[in-house]
């Protein structure tokens, strides 16, 4: 079983992106099922995706960054950023951050 956390950093401003809606889904029998929904805090973090650890399988995190950029009165190319990932049988902690700007975004596996 695994734990999951994320954060969103607005690299264009060099600060955390608070208020970003993030959805966690799991692929079950070829259908994406919503497992959790949350909003980043003032530090751009979302540490809690439910009480139960995540089982091995395929998941995706979707960050609604278009709404964030609209709230900060900036145009953006990307209405959302999505990380599609697999949790192995061995489990562990997965920290998957979003690094965003109005014209790009990226991710990595953090600690």
Return the domain boundaries, the chain.
Answer: 2-102
Kindly calculate the radius of gyration of the chain based on its CA atoms and give it in whole angstroms.
14
The whole-number pLDDT of residue 51 equals: 74
3-state DSSP assignment of residue 82? strand
What is the Cα 60 distance to its own chain's centre?
Answer: 8
Q: Which residues of 1-36 are buried (b: 16+ CB within 10 A; e: fewer)?
A: ebebebbbbbebeeebbbebbbbbbbeeeeeeeebb
CATH number for the domain running over 2-102: 2.60.40.180
pLDDT in tens, 23-47: 999 999 999 999 999 999 999 999 8
28-42, 48-62, 86-100: range with highest mean pLDDT:
28-42
Single pTM value for the model: 0.91
């Amino acid at each position: 079983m695994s734990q999951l956390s994320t954060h969103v950093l607005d690299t264009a401003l060099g600060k955390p992106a608070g208020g970003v809606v993030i959805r966690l889904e799991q692929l079950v029998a070829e259908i994406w099922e919503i497992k959790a929904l949350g909003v980043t805090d003032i530090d751009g973090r979302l540490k809690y995706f439910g009480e139960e650890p995540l089982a091995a399988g395929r998941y995706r995190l979707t960050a609604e960054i278009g709404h964030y950029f609209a709230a900060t009165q900036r145009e953006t190319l990307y209405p959302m950023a999505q990380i599609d990932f697999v949790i192995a049988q061995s489990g562990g902690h997965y920290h998957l951050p979003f690094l965003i700007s109005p014209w790009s975004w990226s991710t990595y596996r953090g600690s």
